[in-house]
Amino acid sequence: MNSSPAEGALVGQAQAGSARAFSQLVDMHSQAVRAFLRRLTGNWAEADDLAQEVFVAAWQNFARFDRARDLRPWLCGLAYRKFLSSRRAFFRSARRDTEFAREQETIAKPMSDLRLDLAKAMNSLPLEQRAAVALCLAADFSHGEAAETLGIPLGTVKSHVARGRAKLLELLGSDHE
C-alpha cells in the first residue's frame, strides 16, 4: 500500500522534528501495529507495551527512515524485531510470572470458544509462519509488504501463508470453517 500525499507530508514534517506530525502518524498506524503485535504475542498488555516501545524507537530513528518506503511495513518491521527481542527476554524470565499474566488476561477479557481455538491454533504455528499469517490474512498486508516487514523473501512469505492457513484449517476442523 502506497502512502498518501498527506502521510508523505507528515513524514517530512516529523523527520524535520515535528512531534505533532509524528503523533498524527502514530494515530494513523498504531492500530495496525498493535493488532499485529497482539496476534504475535497472544497477550494484549504485552502487545500494547511493545507498541509503545516501537513508537519510541521509531521517533528516535525517524530521521533515518527512507521516505521512498511505506511507513506501515517499516513500523511493523520494527514491531517484529521488538517482539523477537522480547521473546528472547521471555525465555530468560520466570515462568510463573508469565503464567500469572496469562491467567489474569483470560479472567479480565473472556473470549469466545472460536477465538480461544484460533489463538491456540495461531500459537502452535512456527514463529515466522505465524507472523506471515498475522500480516497477510489478518492485517491485510500484501505478500510483498509482509516480506519487507519480516525481512524474508517473497516466496517464503507465500509459502508460510499457504502452510499456515492449511494448518489453521486443519487444527480448527470443519465445524469452525
CATH of 111-177 given 1.10.10.10, 1.20.1050.10, 1.20.1070.10, 3.20.20.140: 1.10.10.10
The DSSP element (H or E) to which 165 belongs, if any, is helix 154-172
**Cell, residue 154:** 517473497
pLDDT at 91: 75
Give the residue from 14, 49, 19 showing the smallest Cα distance to 34. 49
Q: Where in the chain is the domain with CATH 1.10.1740.10?
A: 1-109
1-109: which CATH architecture?
Answer: Orthogonal Bundle (1.10)
State residue 107's pLDDT score.
58
**pTM of whole model > 0.75?**
no
User: Residues spanned by CATH 1.10.10.10 within the chain?
Assistant: 111-177
Residue 19 C-alpha cell reads as 512531534
Q: Are 132 and 145 in contact (CB under 8 A)?
A: no
Tens-level pLDDT at each residue, the chain (177 residues): 457 888 999 999 999 999 999 999 999 999 999 999 999 999 999 999 999 999 999 999 999 999 889 999 999 999 999 999 988 876 766 556 666 666 766 554 555 566 667 788 888 899 999 999 999 988 889 999 999 999 999 999 999 999 999 998 888 875 544
| C-alpha closest to that of 77 among 56, 49, 58, 52 | 58
Q: Please report, in angstroms and rounded to a whole number, the separation of the first and last CA atoms in the chain.
A: 29
